[in-house]
Structure 1
Amino acid sequence: MSNTLEELIEHPVFYHFSKIAAIPRGSGNEKAISDYLVRFAQARRLEVIQDEALNVIIKKPATPGYEEIPTVIIQGHMDMVCEKNEGTIHNFESDPLQLRIIGDMLYATDTTLGADNGVAVAYALALLDAEEIPHPSLEVVITTEEETTMGGALAIDPSHFNGKILINIDSEEDHKLLVSGAGGIKITQTLPIVWEVAPTGVQAFKISIGGLKGGHSGISIDKGRGNSNKIMGRLLDDLSSKIPYYICQINGGSAVNAIPRETSATIFLHSDAHRNLEQTIAKWNRLLKNELQTSDPDVSITLENIKHDRSTVFSEDTMSKAIASLMLIPNGIQSMSMEIEGLVESSTNLGIVTTTDAEICFESDSRSSVKSLKDHIVNQSKLLADALGCQFETDCDYPEWPYNPHSAIRKVFEQVYKKKYGTDIEIIAVHAGIECGIFMDKIAGLDAISIGPDMYNVHTPDEHLSIPSTLNNWTYFLSVLEEMKDFSWGK
């Protein structure tokens, strides 16, 4: 095991991971990493395509003896979720990630690591860079904006590909084969703000909810973790029944597909209500410590008396509708699969709440492996928006990835695993958006599988990647490519 980062990056996978970690690549900010991939391919005289969506496709001919094996598409995404701990000085638009090793895990420093999906990029570059690794003809495609809109994959021109086999490297569990994923859609409910003149003689207070673990809104939705936006709705609703107060802003969450960890609200009230406010906050700290003692033991609500120069607050109607939205917008698990034990079938996550001068925007990430249930969540959300006089829209709609019982590439992975480890590999489905569904929708007859090493707490600043698992998954991946030569491909 490598004890230092310098030793670790001597391995080609971690060498390339360290290179891309130095390039800012939040969703929507992929130009630099996309250009880097193009230069990488050009320097090695490999065929490369960069499309208008900044997706990059790199092609490499088969090694000797593998010319007759079907072409394989290797796929991942170049963007990452940008989350950092409160108070951390890090500019995701310009600053490199600061990698560090703790035990046998790789972390960034107080930010997301980007192993989701930097691992796929590192694997692909290490494979393309190698001369001694046997493999069939490769078509490596690294997409953009997977973490936000799936826009890169949705923009892909399928005519660029000859392959009918897709190996996606965006799974997060070693020793498992991912064979099915959920479809998803982004739902936005927007409440116009009617402003009123703030009363005189009031004090301003900032209520902050924090200490929550958060996590990936698909992978972690079954962990029972607190959603700071929903908690804020409960607190403000309870406060409304106790004291008169006024709201001037509510903001929470930073990524629609991450369970929000922090939400704040700025409120005004008269000094004689201060004591009651403190008592209510103390009560909610006790309630949440009890409710979330297992999932989020560090949850806390803080209260700060702040200076302000605002002269307006939400009207009573706006305030009522904002709190109702926080309370009633669907959130969390909506249904569980009856076919696969423990698999979430449909869910939704109120990921972002933003206040501007004109409106309050509520953004949710909804998922389902059954399209009709995804449609139900959309319809339910629209009815609520209509009832509250909110604007409603959806985007980033992408298809589910259905299970293929006749998958040939799954059989190859299963056979290689049994030969390598002496036992059967676990077959899983996941409640998360995987680009396989989009590619299968575009390329007729595509056969897909997804793999990846163990990673933890993705989409949070505590994201970390198992070093031994990354190396193990790499050798397993290479063994599959090598042994594809001995598989009977429809013969």
Structure 2
Amino acid sequence: MTLQLENLKPKEVFNYFSEISKIPRGSGNEKQVSDYLANEGRRLGLEVIQDESFNVLIKKTATKGYENSPTVIIQGHMDMVCEKNKGTQHDFEKDPIELRVEGDYLYANGTTLGADNGIAVAMGLALLASTDIPHPALEVVYTTDEEESMNGAMNLNGDLFKGTYIINLDSEEEGTITVSCAGGVTALITIDKDFKDVNSKIAYTIDVKGLLGGHSGMEINKQRANSNILMGRILNHLLNHANINFDLVEISGGAKNNAIPREAEAVILVDEKDISKLEVELNNILNIFKHEFRTSDPNIKVLSVKSEKTYNKALTDDVRDKMISTIMLMPSGIQTMSMDIEGLVESSTNLGVINNNEDAFVFEFATRSSVKSLKNVINSKMTLLCKVLDIKLELEDDYPEWEYAKDSKLEEICVNTYEEVTGKKPHIVAIHAGLECGLLLDAIKGAQAVSIGPNMFDVHTPNEHLDIRSTERTWDYLLAILKNIK
């Protein structure tokens, strides 16, 4: 454990969190951490199952007096979102996460912390290693690739489980019990590149930066700016309102489709006669953005730098126009709000990534909905627009919504336990983020699920931080739940 974490409580949880923070575990790069978890389970003398997707299931028998209690499944995901500040020297493929404590919060140095969902991994391991915690039989399962596709949970074999109570530890607000979440799908839109020759034009790099970003499910309701959408608006403004007939060389933005993108970049070519006009119009649209997002995202920056590089080729006008049309016309942000649950975003999309590949541009959208038919409507809108624009659409990694189960015994136990421990009533919530509970409930027939967790902030961004005291309280609450499952 790092020196700064030595005195944090619960000690066993933060010790394990420190250990897994030394291991690269970005989505799609989980083998090393999966092997660590499997080996740790074996070291503790427990039954371990590691499948082909690198999911790890570790089983522990009940303590005395709990032999006839329902088996409890403790679940979290081992992967993390890998985001870093510009200028931060960090290789997520090999470098450990550098942890630091500031007051009551745990941060990383210039990168995402990985408390989403490393804190679940750490709590599960601490339970497995314990010798003095009363509990029913436990099945602690860690899944892979949750942040990108949920492929780990999709490939779980439900026949491996005996548990009927699922406690997911992937929530981010203490005092809430999550009982339902959105389903989702990833939409990939591909626009093939085609080039034309250009002469005597001057290159400018346009950057959008300074945005807050955030989780595209949990924080979509905060109406923060999306750098990819802003870049599309800039290009559309220059071409169709300011009448600057620029050529587009490239565009890129964002890192993960489930994160609201904070930065985007484009390279354009303009005639010398339009240079002064370009600066004026960029300033004009920046002022528009600052007005629109004055409350939700006040630090937006639009920067332009003249490039020393000379370009002899640019994208054809047709490709340029398809790029702008795709950004401007595809569904973006909140689509519908629930009329049943006050304040709940019902459906949304997030243009999280614009990839600039060798032969094509690929737009990655994360679509979420707690109502399956509304997800299908968004897919249909995208399909129709792609037909009109003559571009390619692929839908992948479709996962189900988690529907609310009335009269859940597990929910009742969790509510009563929270009141017993705190003297307060918990908030029962449905969320717009995607949790793996829907997939687990599909695989494990007859099970019930809840999701809990400590306070976390700015997840999926380099400012991600974990409330240390909330982690201790949530740990105590989890132990009380297990004690009350008889």
- The bucket for the TM-score relative to the shorter chain is over 0.9
Query: What is the aligned partner in structure 1 of residue 129 from structure 2?
Result: 129
Q: Deviation at 1:311?
A: 2.7
Count of residue pairs brought into register by the alignment: 483
Question: Which deviations, in whole Å up to 9, do the C-alpha atoms of 1:314-365 show, x marking residues without a partner?
Answer: 1011111111011111111110111100000111101111122311111100
- How do 1:225-304 residues align onto structure 2 when only pairs under 5 Å count? 225-241=224-240, 242-304=243-305
State the Cα distance separating 1:58 from its structure 2 match. 0.3
Helix, strand or coil at the partner of 2:321: helix
Q: Is 2:210–2:263's contact at 8 Å kept on the other side of the alignment? A: yes
Counterpart in 1 of 2:380?
379
Do the aligned residues in 2 keep the contact of 1:9 with 1:18 (CA within 8 Å)?
no
Aligned to 2:368: 367
Q: Secondary structure at the match of 1:13?
A: helix
- Per the TM alignment, residue 61 of structure 1 is displaced from its structure 2 partner at its CA by 0.5
What CA deviation, in whole Å up to 9, does each residue of 1:418-471 have, x standing for no partner?
A: 111222211111001110000111111110010000001111111111001000
Q: Deviations over 1:47-99 (max 9, x none)?
A: 00110000000000111111110111110000000111111111111111111
Number of the residue aligned with 2:453: 452
Q: Give 1:7 deviation, angstroms.
A: 2.1
Give per-residue Cα distances to partners, 1:223-258, cap 9 Å, x unaligned.
010001111111000101321211111101100000
CA distance in 2, matches of 1:332, 1:249: 24
Q: Does the CA contact (< 8 Å) of 1:112 and 1:463 recur in 2?
A: yes
Q: Offset at 1:164?
A: 1.2
1:10: how far off?
7.3
Report deviation, 1:269.
Answer: 1.3
CA contact (8 A) 2:10 2:475 kept: no
Distance 1:227 1:378 in 2: 20
Partner of 2:192: 192
Structure 2: which 5+ residue stretches go unaligned?
none
Question: What amino acid is the match of 1:207?
Answer: I
TM norm structure 2: 0.98
Measured against aligned partners, the alpha-carbon deviations of 1:135-155 in whole angstroms (never above 9, x if no partner) come to 000001000000000000000
- For 1:309 and 1:439, locate their aligned partners in 2 and report how far apart those are by CA, in whole Å: 54
Matches of 2:6 and 2:480, distance apart in 1: 27
When the two chains are superposed, the root-mean-square deviation of aligned CA atoms in Å is: 1.3
**Does the 8 A contact of 2:205 with 2:307 survive in 1?**
yes
* Deviation sequence 1:246-294 (CA, Å, 0-9, x none): 1111101100000011000011112221111111111122111111111
Name 1:488's counterpart in structure 2.
none
Shift of 1:309: 5.1
Give the match for residue 96 of structure 1: 96
Specify whether residues 6 and 188 from structure 1 end up closer, same or farther in structure 2 by C-alpha distance, changes over 3 A only. Answer: same
Shift of 1:409: 0.6
Runs of 4+ in 1 over 6 A off after TM superposition: none
Written as runs of structure 1 = structure 2, the 5 A alignment for 1:3-402 is: 4-8=4-8, 11-197=11-197, 199-241=198-240, 242-308=243-309, 310-402=311-403
Q: Is this contact kept in 2: 1:17–1:122, CA < 8 A?
A: yes
SS state at 2:182 partner: strand
Distance 1:308 1:386 in 2: 36
Asked if structure 1 preserves the Cα contact closer than 8 Å seen for 2:199 and 2:312, the reply is no
Counterpart of 2:50, as a letter, is Q
Determine the C-alpha separation between the residues in 2 that align with 1:309 and 1:203.
7
CA distance in structure 2 between the aligned counterparts of 1:10 and 1:376, rounded to whole angstroms: 46
User: How many Å apart are 1:200 and its aligned residue?
Assistant: 1.6
Q: What is the distance in 2 between the residues matched to 1:33 and 1:364?
A: 28
Q: Provide the C-alpha distance between the structure 2 equivalents of 1:229 and 1:365, rounded to a whole number of angstroms.
A: 13
TM-score by length of 1: 0.97
1:171–1:450 contact (8 Å) kept in structure 2 = yes
The C-alpha deviation readout for 1:94-124, integer Å capped at 9, x for no partner, is: 1111111111011111111111100100100
Q: CA deviation at 1:307?
A: 2.7
One-letter code aligned to 2:232: G
Contact 1:3 1:101 in 2 (8 A): no
How far apart are 1:161 and its partner, in Å? 0.5
Matching residue's letter, 2:40: F
In 1, Cα distance between equivalents of 2:144 and 2:310? 41
Q: What is the distance in 2 between the residues matched to 1:10 and 1:321?
A: 54
Report the 3-state secondary structure (helix = DSSP H, G, I; strand = E; otherwise coil) of the residue aligned with 1:409.
helix
| Alpha-carbon distance, 1:6 to partner | 3.1
* Cα distance in structure 2, aligned partners of 1:4 and 1:24: 21
Counterpart Cα distance in 2 of 1:431 and 1:3? 37
Distance 1:200 1:28, change over 3 A: same
Aligned partners of 1:79 and 1:365: how far apart in 2? 18
- Paired with 2:454 and 2:7, the residues of 1 have a C-alpha distance of 20
Q: Distance in 2 between matches of 1:294 and 1:427?
A: 28
Partner of 1:471: 472
Letter in 2 for 1:133: I
Separation in 2, partners of 1:6, 1:138: 28
